[in-house]
Amino acid sequence: MRSRSTCPPPAGVASTARRQGADRRTETLVRVTVLGTGTMGAGVAKSLLREGHEVTVWNRSADKARPLADDGATVATDAAAAVQHAEVVLLTLFDTDAVVDVLEAAAGDAPTDAVWVQSSTVGTDGTETIVQLAEKYGMTLVEAMMLGTKAPAEQGKLTMLAAGPSDQLDTIDPVLDAIGAKTVRAGERVGDGTALKLAANAWIASITAATAQSLAIARALGLDPALFLDAIDGTASDSPYAHTKGEAMLSGEFAPQFALDGLRKDIGLIGEAARAAGVSTVLVDALDRVYAQASAEGHGGDDIAAVGTAF
C-alpha cells in the first residue's frame, strides 16, 4: 500500500475524508482487484479508480469488463491473472456458485497476504461454504456487503456492511472509504455482514412492494396515484426510497439500478435464513410471489420498481 498527499477535491466531488467525517492528510492507495463487473462491480471499480487506487478487473463475460479500461483499469483475461499482484480482492459476483468457481480458480495465484473481501449476496449457507473454502486455501477473508444500487456504487456513496476481525477490516478501510459513504461494522464474524444485508434487503423488498400496492390502490379508487407520494411527503411515514421507486412506477421507466431478478434471488436467501432461524416468513413468502409474477411478465432484467406491474 502507498500513501499520497491529498488536495482539495474538485467542486462537486466529495472527498473520502469528508464522507467519513475524518480530517485525513494522506490517503493510502491500494492495488485492488475486482472480480465480477456487473452493475455493482463496475460501479465500485469506477469509484476506486476515481480515488486513485490501482485497479484490475475481471468478469466471466469479458465485454462487461472491457469498458473499464477507458477509466484506467487493467482488464485481466482470467481470474487467476487478475489477482497476481492484488493487495485486496473484491468478490462482487452473483451467487455462491460463481464465488466458489472463482476462488477455486484464483486462490493459489494471489499474494499470501492479500485480503479477500466477500461482497456478493450469497445467504447464510453460501457464506459458510465460502468461509470453509477460504480456510482450505489459507486465505484472509472478510465481508463488506454493499447496501445501495448502481448510482451510489458509481458515486462512491454505498453503505458498506463489514464483518471480520477488526485488524483485518482496518487494512481495507481505504478501499471501503473509496466506495462507501459510510461503513457499518456488523461484527467480527464473517457472516455477520451477510445477516445484516439480508435484513436490509428484506426491508428494501418490502417497501418497494408496499409502495406499488399503495399506488395501485389509489389508482383503483379513482385517484391520481401520485397523490399518495404527496400525502406521505415530509411525514413520519415518509421514505426517500418510496419516492424514488414510486416515481419510477408512475413513469414506467425501469432502467435497472437493482435488477428485479437479483432481488428475487435475495428474497429466496432471506426466506431460507429466516426459516432456519425460526422466524415467520409470511411476508417474505408474499414478496416472493409478487416479485415472481413481475418477473414472469418479462421484467426480470428491469429495476425492482417494475414490481408495480404485478399490481
Q: Which domains does the chain have, with CATH numbers?
A: 2-190 (3.40.50.720), 199-310 (1.10.1040.10)
Indicate the DSSP class of residue 259. B
Mean pLDDT for 73-90 is 98
What are the pLDDT digits (tens) for 113-130? Answer: 999 999 999 999 999 999
Going by C-beta distance under 8 Å and a sequence separation of 6 or more, which residues neighbour residue 56? Answer: 31, 32, 33, 34, 73, 74, 75, 76, 82, 83, 85, 86
Instruction: Report residue 1's pLDDT band, with 50, 70 and 90 as the boundaries.
Output: confident
What is the model's pLDDT at position 268? 98
Band the pLDDT of 10: cuts 50, 70, 90.
very low
pLDDT digits (tens, 9 = 90+) for 83-101: 999 999 999 999 999 999 9
CB-neighbour burial class of residue 280 (10 A; exposed 0-12, middle 13-18, buried 19+)? exposed
Query: Would you place residue 2 in the very low, low, confident or very high pLDDT band (cuts 50, 70, 90)?
Result: low
Q: Where are the alpha helices (DSSP H) in 221-300?
A: 226-232, 240-251, 260-276, 282-294
| Residue 193 pLDDT level (bands cut at 50, 70, 90) | very high
Q: Tell the burial category of 166 from Cβ atoms under 10 Å away from its Cβ (0-12, 13-18, 19+).
A: exposed
Higher pLDDT pick, 242 / 16:
242
pLDDT of residue 287: 99
Average per-residue pLDDT for the chain? 93
The predicted model scores a pTM of: 0.90
